[in-house]
Amino acid sequence: MSLVRLNIKGISYSQTQNGAYALILSEVDGDRKLPIVIGAFEAQSIAIALEKEIKPPRPLTHDLFKNFSDRFDIVVKQVIIHKLVDGVFYSSLICERDKIEEIIDARTSDAIALALRFQAPIFTYKNILDKAGIYLKVNKEDEQKADNILVDEVLAEEIETSAGQDNFKGKTLKELQKMLDQAVTNEDYETAARIRDEISKR
């Protein structure tokens, strides 16, 4: 499968959904964009890495990882977004130490926050871009507006999916436990927390 290189286009804050962010990646040799819903903490970490002038007084979690890696001569060579399952992107960090390569599983938002700090390239497979990439052909003036509309559409879809999963009342404990395991597997920790709260109530 062929790899497609991606650039970080930026982070967009939803105009309609409070506290919701999407990371916009764009293909280097094309016009498609890959929007990925991320949490507020990861959005802040990525934004800080993008803005070279902003230096937090104490290291953030991703800065700590970078400092730790530097101390032990570990380099993140590249990030690959390698899988898309039920709207969740899965990524790998390709690391190297003493000329030995290791592959480490990571959430996509964390992987990109680290790629920025290591100045590592970001790739995805062509089939993932074919499946989830969005083609927007707009002029430069309308680009930001188009990005905001795109983000709101992506987040609305995400919220709709979550709302469908929020009907926990009629579920048995066994069904809830199964749903909790599924949410954790899908890295949907917000839904997992709501299911856990429902289990605790009982």
Residue 193, pLDDT score: 76
One domain for residues 38 and 96 = yes
**Considering all CA atoms of the chain, what is the largest pairwise distance in Å, rounded to the nearest integer?**
55
Residues 150 and 192 in one domain: no
Domain co-membership, 40 together with 134: yes
Which CATH number belongs to the domain containing residue 78 in this structure? 3.10.690.10
- Residue 134's pLDDT is 85
Number of structural domains (the chain) is: 2
Query: What are the mean pLDDT values of the chain's consecutive 10-residue runs (202 residues total)?
Result: 91 66 90 88 91 84 96 97 91 96 96 97 96 71 54 54 57 89 80 80 72
DSSP-based three-state secondary structure for 39: coil
Q: Which domain holds residue 194?
A: 167-201
What pLDDT, on the 0 to 100 scale, is given for residue 146?
Answer: 53
* List of E strands, 40-187: 75-85, 88-97, 100-107, 122-125, 134-135
**183 and 154, same domain (yes or no):** no
Domain co-membership, 142 together with 193: no
Q: Residue 97's pLDDT is what? A: 96
Q: How many Å separate Cα 101 from the centre of its chain?
A: 23
| Residue 187, Cβ density class (10 Å: 0-12 exposed, 13-18 middle, ≥19 buried) | middle
* pTM tops 0.85, yes or no: no
Given this model, what pLDDT does residue 160 score?
46
24: region left, alpha or beta (phi > 0 left; psi from -120 to 50 alpha): beta
140-165 helix and 189-201 helix, angle to the nearest 10 degrees: 20
What span, in angstroms and rounded, lies between the C-alpha atoms of 181 and 18? 27
Do 46 and 128 lie in one domain? The reply is: yes
3-class SS string, 11-25: EEECCCCCCCEEEEE
